[in-house]
Chains A and B, each alone.
Chain A
């Protein structure tokens, strides 16, 4: 990537991250992968996520979560309660465009990182707070982990749906795997940072407040829309009338036919069984009414199918179907390989491993991961040296 014309979108921008949690970490990671130099400020004992499971085999020293979130970042250690630590941070913030953090409002005040102080000392610095319930409001001091947040935002109550809800109707609602809500908070925090970067030219720097609850609720917007339509969504009643998760001979696939031509494709895929040729079933509303009956037949058929074969035939017929791919299958997928979704980087304590870059290409190519996660304090020199910033050449005056 030496070609200046192909510089990634945030080339030349500098972000500083003070984080404990996944949301702020993901925001910093997105800015880093988009090209910003991103410096993770860690306490002397290291970011707590460095010790968070799962740990990478076989050595079980490095956290997979930390390695994923910190890939490409730089690391400095800084005791923010000491004068030296604060002076070091000040060097970083003087140069930075964005500070992403998950400090509570009381901690910010104690560390002199509150909004008025930041604005006075670093007038061009945009600060982005990402907290479970945001930086203001009645729940500002509430504690919350991922499982609490996904339920505070409504999606938890709505899961599982489909086959799992049918099989286990009495079980508690189910969270999405991993850190779904926190990742949402991270993406929204990055969006907030970037929006403020765009407006800074005219309006100056400002503070950005993101709540993981708000961010997760935003992606669940449809359920609130449905409430306005007069329907309170529930996990047991929002399943697809037919299709959905299907068990095949060697795994699971997802089938969803929303359009008429897709239903016709499904008839072909199932080799035109008599029941599907019933003229009444050419009416989509009738199919919806007879969903359970249709599902029994589709499920019986699916159990005879092999996933790779049936998905390939379905897609050739324009029938939306996908295999429930395991992580190992995703990692070895030819499509993912062709798009360079995973890029090998060195992970201290675990060796060279493929890490996901970003879920989008820019300028026709995957964004390059510049490095693996940093060693603790690997870039300590950044605290003491003032650097000349390398900015991309301005090719056009933009009003």
Chain B
């Protein structure tokens, strides 16, 4: 049994952030019905030339485990059909630009009038209200608006673009807020509207820096430095483009590190006696650490540091991740068969319950694959009714 078993989602989301929200919810047990139309394909089904991707981008990562139906939302009968679907759903998720659902007649007020106990989750770049609510945006813009991009970077370099992790962070926040609203629905019978702003999610990831700035501080790009810890950074190893991360927090860890890297003389160096002094002289210190890591293979150094109780990890690429024993044993990385029948690594939703199950039970649906169940069984449309709607390009 999955924890959200019995929750049904009418999913109108597109692109990455919204679909990742409903993908996670579906792995937690919600029945997610993805509404699509051949007239308006998800951008994730199309080539992405800006990424240099000439073929269609696979969108398995956000579409798997969902059911698929076609509804043409440009047709009034399509809207009526969408409303029927909402009528049998607990949660409505959408990620259009603010105002689009209202124009379609599917805004929260209209749906709540139809079904007072509905929970609606809207995901947008800047939220449903405020002077910038109409702004268009993608992940790097969310990071830029929310100060996360400004603060990330080398000390002497430009800001850095946030990529898909930004979209997916928005999706996870949206999933979390959605379940909070579902909890209230189950407790009190009250529905509600959750309005997730992607740029505010970026802000929430630097909430402490924003508060520091509010008090008159000036948070700035600091590369891989830490405000307290030193040594702290990403170090070269003897392997090409194979990096090792090390973070030393306490005096005790520092002493163990100095001994491990055969540099006991550092322990008597006046520059490295206190945490504050080590932090002040961190560049020299990092040179000493790298002197050692440069002679080691990353994995070997990682194991030695961990054995000495020092926080260290190889900088993993996705090959490392796909074959990582720890991630495999936790069931985080699993093998799935994709739509072409090839086996590939995929991620299970990142929560382990002692009793409840979680995970994917099916792959990416073909467009309209689940209409017999959704339109036939759930909505009670006859085969003839559906054929008429197909002829009229309502189911399209």
Contact = CB atoms under 8 A, between A and B. Distances in A.
Interface string A1-37: 0000101011111000000000000000010001000
Interface stretch (A77-85, A103-111, A347-355): A347-355
Q: How large is the interface on A (under 10, 10 to 19, 20 to 34, 35 or more residues)?
A: 35 or more
Q: Which of B49, B163, B192, B207 has the most A CB atoms < 10 Å from its CB? A: B207
Interface string A155-196: 111111111100110011111111110011001101110111
B349 A218 contact: yes
Contacts of B201: 359
Main secondary structure of the interface of A (DSSP, over half): mixed
A241 B213 contact: no
A137 B329 contact: yes
Interface in B27-79: 28, 43, 47-52, 54, 58, 60-61
B330 interface: yes
A64 B50 contact: no
A177 B209 contact: yes
Given A133-B326, A177-B152, A223-B164, A338 B131 contact: yes
A327 B353 contact: no
Interface stretch (B80-88, B305-313, B373-381, B388-396): B305-313
B157 interface: yes
A336 to B, nearest CB: 8
A232 interface: yes
A99 interface: no
A38 B65 CA distance: 34
Closest 8 CB pairs of A and B: A396-B189, A228-B344, A327-B213, A359-B200, A214-B350, A199-B3, A219-B168, A145-B247
Given A156-B234, A178-B205, A254-B144, A188 B351 contact: yes
B234 A364 contact: no
Chain B, interface residues (CB within 8 Å), range: 35 or more
Contacts of A334: 130-131
B168 A194 contact: no
Chain B interface mostly helix, strand, loop or mixed? mixed
Contacts of B174: 360
Nearest to A22: B208
B44 to A, nearest CB: 10
A297 interface: no
24 contacts: A11-B184, A34-B180, A68-B210, A136-B352, A153-B316, A154-B318, A161-B163, A163-B158, A164-B160, A167-B157, A172-B234, A177-B151, A178-B208, A194-B176, A197-B183, A208-B352, A227-B318, A232-B317, A240-B50, A241-B51, A257-B50, A258-B138, A284-B50, A323-B145
Interface in B129-149: 129-138, 140-141, 143-149
A56 B215 contact: yes
A149 B350 CA distance: 15
A340 to B, nearest CB: 10
A221 B347 contact: yes
Contacts of B224: 147, 172, 174-175
B356 A195 contact: yes
A206 interface: yes
Given A188-B351, A194-B180, A321-B141, 19 more contacts: A9-B181, A10-B180, A11-B184, A152-B313, A172-B235, A175-B152, A178-B205, A188-B350, A191-B172, A228-B342, A229-B58, A232-B319, A244-B161, A254-B161, A258-B138, A324-B150, A327-B206, A335-B132, A361-B128
A166 B223 CA distance: 16
Residue of B5, B176, B211, B216 with most partner-chain A CB within 10 A: B211
B197 interface: yes
A315 to B, nearest CB: 5
